[in-house]
Amino acid sequence: FAELLKAYTSMSLRRSIFEVGVFSNKYLQWSVGSSIALTLFVVLTPGVMDVFEIEYIDGRAWTLVLVLAPMPAFVEEVTKYVYRETGFGARPKVVRDVRVKKSKSYHRAMSKRAASKFQQMEDEDDAKV
C-alpha cells in the first residue's frame, strides 16, 4: 500500500499533492483503487490465499500496515517542502521562443535554400578532394 500512496506524490516533482489535487488524475484513482481492491481480494479471500500461499493477517499486522503505509508519501512531501523552501535543484527559467506561423510557401523556399546550401557544401568537399 505504501507505493500506491506514494504514487500520488509522484504527480509533481516540486508541488505538494495538495496543490496538485489528490483527485486531479482520474486514471491514477482507478489504478490505485483497483490495485487496493485486488490486493485485499488476494489477502482476504480464503481460496485465493491458498493459491498465493498467504497466511491470515491479524488486526495487529493490519494496524502496522495502515500506520506505516503513508510514511514514504509523507517523507516525499517533506522533501518537496524542503526543496521548495531552499530552492535546491531549481532550474533556471527558460524564455520560450514564440514564433510566428509561416506560410507553406515560406517553408518551401526555406527547404530549397537549405537544399542548395547542402549542395554547395558537398561541392566544396568534392573540390577539396
Q: How many angstroms separate the first and last alpha carbons of the chain?
A: 68
21: left (phi over 0), alpha (psi -120 to 50) or beta: left
**Coarse DSSP helix, strand, coil percentages of the chain, rounded to the nearest 5 percent:** 70, 0, 30
Better pLDDT: 90 or 47: 47
Q: For residue 10, which of 69, 92, 79 has the smallest C-alpha distance? A: 79
Higher pLDDT residue, 92 or 80?
80
Q: For residue 1, what pLDDT is reported?
A: 82
CB 17 within 8 A of CB 8: yes
Q: Is the pLDDT of residue 92 over 70?
A: no
